[in-house]
Amino acid sequence: MVVTKNFSPSQLALYTALLVSISVGVCFLFFSIIWWQVLIVTLCVFTCSFFIFREVLRRFIYRKIKLIYKFIYQTKASKREEIYHKYVLPQKSIQEVEDDVQAWAQKRNEELESLRSTEKYRREFLQNFSHEIKTPIFAVQGYLDTLLSGSLEDQELSQKFITKASRNIDRMVHLVSDIDEIARLESGKQSINKQDFIIQDLIKEVFESVQTNDAEKSVNFSIKKGCEAPPVHVFADKEKIRQVLTNLVINAVKYSGASPQVIASVYKPDGARALIEISDTGMGIAEEHLPRIFERFYRTDAGRSRNSGGTGLGLAICKHIIEAHQQAIHIRSKVNVGTTVGFTLQARKD
Ligand code: ADP
């Protein structure tokens, strides 16, 4: 069966010329029964009408299509494209041309979509950044203004205000260095230097460092029973994983009550990967926050109202680091029960 919509201009001209010449030939049979005369007339009509139809199609339809092609490929045609326009394009069926134009439109749509989301991301980033930086800047400004307007004589008050201003400056430094870290991870400029190490040893080191940082709280750090041994060797960037563990352990302490319990677990679900989890028995995170918790600057109301000095970037950094290792990170949590953040790492090939 002939599928009419897939005719190329030459085929279209051929079929039309055939139809016209056969019709003329049949009409001619009424006037002359000399078969060779009928044949010559039919052949002449066929040849002339074929060339006329083909030329008309090329001139009025394919020239316009050529213009569309030039437009969608945007530039002045190169030599190769000229050849394409001259010889290949006229062979294409209208359906193929339609497919090409649709593919072009789809590509443009995707480009537009990506531009829109980059723009949205940029706008959100600026809003979040200015929101986060505003609080410490205004606080420092307030303390300095108060000092300058006469409180400098009061030594005790001066000491108090300067300490507070210094804490806010630390917060700004923290924020800027977190943003810098995210930017480097996103641009792929930060290389991942993988090495073999025992994950339980690193967890113990992180526990010790966080313990000394948080002397006021009586935190109970432990590795889950049965997970301390045998040693699990992983192949990853040790310093980056230290950063991930430190962020998670600090969060576990920060978002828990007076005597937090922080438990680390290490599993080997299969020969290729190790699963590391940091759990706490703290305030937990409401279910509606969980899908967005790894987004930059995202904080739950509890996280904000605590004014814990966090930037809302810690979990986003963890996600970036784990994804740079081509591994996955996840979170489970229940309000007033606790939170578990787990991530996988490549296990050392034994
Ligand atoms: P922050 O610097 O604010 O701690 P994070 O990205 O580390 O930023 O965490 C984002 C938010 O997730 C926090 O503000 C807090 O609301 C919530 N969160 C993170 N870890 C925990 C946890 N272990 N328990 C309860 N809430 C948590």
Query: Residue 157: which CATH number?
Result: 1.10.287.130
- Is 143 within the bounds of a domain? yes
What pLDDT shows up at residue 215? 61
Angle between helices 238-254 and 314-324 (to 10 degrees): 150
179 and 271 assigned to the same domain = no
> CB under 6 Å to ligand 1: residues?
247, 251-252, 255, 280, 282-285, 293, 298-300, 302-303, 310-316, 339
Looking at the predicted structure, is the pLDDT value of residue 309 above 90? no
216 CA from centroid of ligand 1 (Å): 20
User: In this predicted structure, which of 14-23, 92-101, 118-127, 169-178 has the lowest mean pLDDT?
Assistant: 92-101
User: In this predicted structure, which of 67-76, 283-292, 329-338 has the lowest mean pLDDT?
Assistant: 67-76
Confidence of residue 280 (pLDDT cuts 50, 70, 90): very high
Phi-psi region of 210 (alpha: psi -120 to 50; beta: other; left: phi over 0): alpha
347 CA from centroid of ligand 1 (Å): 28
Answer with the residue of higher pLDDT: 110 or 303.
110
- Is 171 within the bounds of a domain? yes
175 and 297 assigned to the same domain = no
From 263, 281, 292, 293, the mutation candidate for ligand 1 (largest count of ligand atoms within 8 A of CB) is 293
Average pLDDT over residues 171-191: 85
> Average pLDDT over the chain, rounded to whole?
85
Domain boundary among 152, 187, 222: 187
Looking at the predicted structure, is the pLDDT value of residue 327 above 90? yes
159 and 59 assigned to the same domain = no
What's the domain count of the chain? 3
Query: Which atom from ligand 1 is nearest to the alpha carbon of 282?
Result: 24
What pLDDT shows up at residue 128? 83
132 and 236 assigned to the same domain = no
143 CA from centroid of ligand 1 (Å): 28
342 and 206 assigned to the same domain = yes
- Is 147 within the bounds of a domain? yes
312 CA from centroid of ligand 1 (Å): 7
284 CA from centroid of ligand 1 (Å): 9
Average pLDDT over residues 18-46: 86
Domain boundary among 161, 187, 213: 187
Helix residue spans in 188-237 (DSSP H): 199-213
Protein residue with least CA distance to atom 7, ligand 1: 314
79 and 154 assigned to the same domain = no
30 CA from centroid of ligand 1 (Å): 95
Q: 79 phi and psi, to 5 degrees? A: -60, -45
Q: Are 232 and 201 in contact (CB under 8 A)?
A: no
In one-letter notation, the amino acid at residue 36 is W
What pLDDT shows up at residue 350? 60
Q: Are 325 and 346 in contact (CB under 8 A)?
A: yes
171 and 295 assigned to the same domain = no
139 and 246 assigned to the same domain = no
299 CA from centroid of ligand 1 (Å): 6
Which residues touch 132 (CB under 8 Å, ≥6 apart)?
Answer: 175, 297, 311, 312
205 and 327 assigned to the same domain = yes
Residue 65: both structure tokens together: 């299509």
- Is 101 within the bounds of a domain? no
Looking at the predicted structure, is the pLDDT value of residue 72 above 80? no
DSSP 177-192: HHHHHHHHHHHT-S--
Domain boundary among 135, 169, 187: 187
Confidence of residue 1 (pLDDT cuts 50, 70, 90): very low
164 and 274 assigned to the same domain = no
Q: Percent of the chain, pLDDT > 90?
A: 43
What pLDDT shows up at residue 126? 86
From 245, 279, 285, 311, the mutation candidate for ligand 1 (largest count of ligand atoms within 8 A of CB) is 285
Which residues touch 18 (CB under 8 Å, ≥6 apart)?
Answer: 46
What pLDDT shows up at residue 279? 96
- Is 14 within the bounds of a domain? yes
User: In this predicted structure, which of 147-161, 202-216, 252-266, 298-312 has the lowest mean pLDDT?
Assistant: 298-312
172 and 228 assigned to the same domain = no
Average pLDDT over residues 158-176: 91
Protein residue with least CA distance to atom 2, ligand 1: 310
- Is 2 within the bounds of a domain? no
What pLDDT shows up at residue 241? 97
80 and 134 assigned to the same domain = no
Helix residue spans in the chain (DSSP H): 9-29, 35-57, 63-72, 79-83, 94-148, 155-187, 199-213, 238-254, 301-305, 314-324
Protein residue with least CA distance to atom 12, ligand 1: 299
Average pLDDT over residues 56-60: 80
Query: Which atom from ligand 1 is nearest to the alpha carbon of 303?
Result: 16
Answer with the residue of higher pLDDT: 16 or 95.
16
Protein residue with least CA distance to atom 23, ligand 1: 252
Which residue range(s) make up the domain with 266?
Answer: 195-346
147 CA from centroid of ligand 1 (Å): 34
Answer with the residue of higher pLDDT: 97 or 220.
220
Protein residue with least CA distance to atom 4, ligand 1: 310
Instruction: Note if the pTM is more than 0.85.
Output: no
- Is 106 within the bounds of a domain? no
- Is 100 within the bounds of a domain? no
CATH number at residue 263: 3.30.565.10
